[in-house]
């Protein structure tokens, strides 16, 4: 689209925000954008409407149709309300639970959501204060709600906020509900948003729901006696200024851990995330203060959760006593291995159990599952797809764990989103269990590599902001499709999977076959002869294009680890050069 035509369109759209349906401050900010000689802020604010991605509605806070504000939140809520009233028209009462994180405007947005739902005759159950994503998912099921809403932008930078929608199973919405909700939202004009709250239909949740949640989490424990023997394991925990502060320490103590060490500077609840550049445990810098605290206190473990406490990061000591930070694949690998191993030891595997991983997560988790007779299912990125498999198999088979490389894991089936709290409980339990077995967590990880194969993973994200950034990402994806790589790091590409077309090309056999997935997705994967896997996809929640690299090798002994790891690092470096990233 030519710039003049685009500017004409966004100008026309922006002028619709200069009516009395919008408050005076909003009109003032829109007019300032219209009057400015710099048209980029106007275009970025109005060139599109916020859409649901893998994590729901998410965007920069501010004025405009492409921003998080009371009107885009209002339209989303009114559209959701309209859809709920249609879908559950036979119910006497429709209930929606609403949570929020620590971000600027999160509490205000959650109140606006409650007001609009109640104005439409829907009971709004509002958390009294900030709470983690998994507790909101849990509450949808526990309280018999038809939907749930979490105001959060997860680990995004401080200028972002977001809006996650959950269905009556406690999972984020998937087709057809997501598309149907979007259709309803798109039909909502600002004059149709009912902001007039019915206070009689707004209920506030107190702390008793925390106790219910923690009591249910205690049921997933597999080695409580190990915790009793090693209750003093030193665990440094940081919520990185977010919601985990409200539940994680309390849950760990309830499960028997007595030596929880906090990071006071990061216990401060703040949407500015003052001690970090990025409030994401994937970023080593976000865990630096916790690691330093662990060194000072001679602690054994470092745990971190992101602001809405669905992501879990862990640090362990290596064979030299130094702290190393595990990536999401390693954390999931240890958790999957432990759950299966312990359930085997306890005689709890019946043959109906299953695990789940996303298509960009390490294939080694699948090797561990399947070699132990546990089927592992594969799904798209985003925990809503893991939850969709859980929904399909509910009552038929037993879910025992699943996750994704982006620091997300879920051990229990009474929550339907990634859960850092249960991951923290289990990871602490594993530390106690390996002590009983005369090992360290580091030695356990190496022993898993020796038994099942070594893999090393690296994720690379390239940020491209605004309309021009979106266009650049689209061009990059197009180039990788139209000019596919034939060799990567000296190994021949033997298989290409394109989830946008649901077609896979087996190059050796010269065959094209169909990928069995519930819908299409903008993901491209390369597989090479030496079992390297590379996945490329635009993020559904951030202005980024993401590359996921996984290389494989054989580890014969613990003493060979550093050498094998170094070879993998060099290979990944070469792959990045081949990809131009």
Please state, in angstroms and rounded to a whole number, the distance separating the CA atoms of residues 365 and 152. Answer: 29
Please state, in angstroms and rounded to a whole number, the distance separating the CA atoms of residues 447 and 86. Answer: 54
Q: Are strands 160-166 and 202-205 parallel, antiparallel or unpaired?
A: unpaired
Do residues 156 and 541 make contact, with C-beta atoms less than 8 angstroms apart? Answer: yes
Please state, in angstroms and rounded to a whole number, the distance separating the CA atoms of residues 393 and 389. Answer: 6
Query: Which residues carry out catalysis?
Result: 154
Would you tell me the crossing angle of helices 177-186 and 70-87 to the nearest 10 degrees?
A: 120
Closest by CA position to 153, among listed 163, 143, 142, 145? 163
Closest by CA position to 294, among listed 309, 314, 311? 314
**Residue length, the chain?**
581
Do residues 217 and 422 make contact, with C-beta atoms less than 8 angstroms apart? Answer: yes
Cite the beta strand spans of 338-397 per DSSP E: 353-358, 375-379
Buried b (16+ CB within 10 A) or exposed e, 109-136: bbbbbbbbbbbbebbbbbbebbbbbbbb
Q: Are strands 323-325 and 312-317 parallel, antiparallel or unpaired?
A: antiparallel
DSSP 283: S
Please state, in angstroms and rounded to a whole number, the distance separating the CA atoms of residues 519 and 513. Answer: 16
Angle, alpha carbons 17-19-21 (nearest 5°): 90
Please state, in angstroms and rounded to a whole number, the distance separating the CA atoms of residues 380 and 358. Answer: 5
Angle, alpha carbons 128-129-134 (nearest 5°): 100
Do residues 519 and 499 make contact, with C-beta atoms less than 8 angstroms apart? Answer: no
Please state, in angstroms and rounded to a whole number, the distance separating the CA atoms of residues 388 and 376. Answer: 14
Closest by CA position to 77, among listed 197, 170, 157? 197
């Amino acid at each position: 689209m030519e710039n003049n035509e685009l500017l004409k369109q966004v100008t026309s759209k922006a002028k619709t925000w200069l009516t009395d349906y919008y408050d005076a401050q909003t009109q003032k900010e829109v007019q300032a954008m219209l009057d400015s000689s710099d048209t980029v802020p106007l275009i970025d604010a109005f060139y599109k409407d916020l859409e649901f991605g893998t994590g729901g509605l998410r965007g920069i806070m501010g004025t405009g149709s492409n921003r998080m504000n009371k009107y885009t939140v209002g339209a989303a809520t009114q559209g959701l309300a309209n859809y709920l009233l249609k879908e559950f028209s036979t119910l006497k009462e429709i209930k929606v639970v609403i949570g929020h994180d620590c971000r600027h405007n999160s509490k205000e947005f959650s109140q606006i959501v409650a007001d609009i739902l109640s104005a439409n005759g829907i009971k709004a159950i509002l958390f009294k204060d900030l709470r983690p994503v998994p507790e909101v998912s849990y509450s949808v099921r526990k309280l018999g709600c038809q939907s749930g809403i979490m105001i959060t932008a997860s680990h995004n930078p401080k200028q972002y906020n977001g809006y996650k929608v959950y269905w009556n199973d406690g999972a984020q919405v998937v087709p057809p509900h997501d598309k149907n909700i979007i259709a309803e939202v798109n039909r909502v004009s600002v004059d149709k948003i009912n902001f007039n709250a019915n206070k009689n239909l707004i209920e506030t949740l107190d702390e008793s729901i925390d106790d219910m949640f923690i009591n249910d989490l205690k049921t997933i424990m597999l080695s409580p006696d190990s915790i009793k023997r090693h209750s003093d394991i030193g665990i440094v925990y940081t919520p990185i200024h977010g919601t985990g502060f409200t539940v994680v320490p309390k849950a760990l103590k309830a499960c028997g851990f007595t030596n929880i060490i906090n990071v006071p500077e990061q216990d401060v609840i703040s949407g500015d995330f003052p001690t970090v550049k990025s409030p994401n445990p994937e970023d080593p810098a976000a865990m630096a203060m916790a690691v330093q605290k662990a060194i000072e206190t001679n602690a054994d473990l470092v745990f971190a959760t992101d602001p809405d406490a669905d992501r879990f990061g862990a640090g362990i000591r290596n064979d030299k006593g130094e702290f190393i930070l595990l990536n999401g694949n390693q954390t999931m690998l240890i958790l999957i291995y432990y759950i299966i191993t312990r359930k085997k030891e306890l005689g709890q595997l019946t043959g109906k159990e299953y695990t789940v991983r996303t298509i960009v997560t390490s294939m080694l988790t699948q090797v561990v599952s399947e070699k132990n007779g546990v089927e592992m299912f594969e799904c798209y990125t985003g925990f809503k797809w893991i939850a969709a498999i859980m929904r399909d198999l509910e009552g038929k088979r037993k879910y025992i764990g699943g996750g994704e490389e982006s620091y997300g894991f879920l051990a229990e089936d009474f929550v339907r989103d990634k859960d850092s709290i249960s991951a923290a409980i289990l990871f602490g339990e594993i530390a106690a269990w390996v002590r009983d077995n005369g090992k360290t967590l580091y030695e356990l990880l190496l022993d898993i590599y020796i038994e099942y194969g070594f893999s090393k993973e690296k994720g690379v994200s390239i940020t491209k902001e605004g309309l021009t950034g979106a266009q650049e990402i689209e061009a990059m994806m197009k180039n990788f499709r139209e000019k596919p790589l034939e060799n990567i790091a000296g190994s021949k590409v033997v298989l290409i999977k394109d989830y946008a077309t649901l077609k896979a090309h087996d190059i050796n056999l010269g065959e094209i076959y169909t990928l069995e997935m519930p819908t299409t997705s903008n993901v491209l994967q390369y597989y090479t002869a030496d079992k390297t896997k590379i996945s490329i996809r635009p993020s559904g929640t951030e202005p980024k294009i993401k590359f996921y690299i996984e290389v494989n090798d054989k580890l014969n002994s613990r003493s060979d680890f550093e050498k094998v790891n170094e070879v993998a690092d060099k290979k990944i470096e070469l792959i990045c050069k081949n990809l131009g990233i």
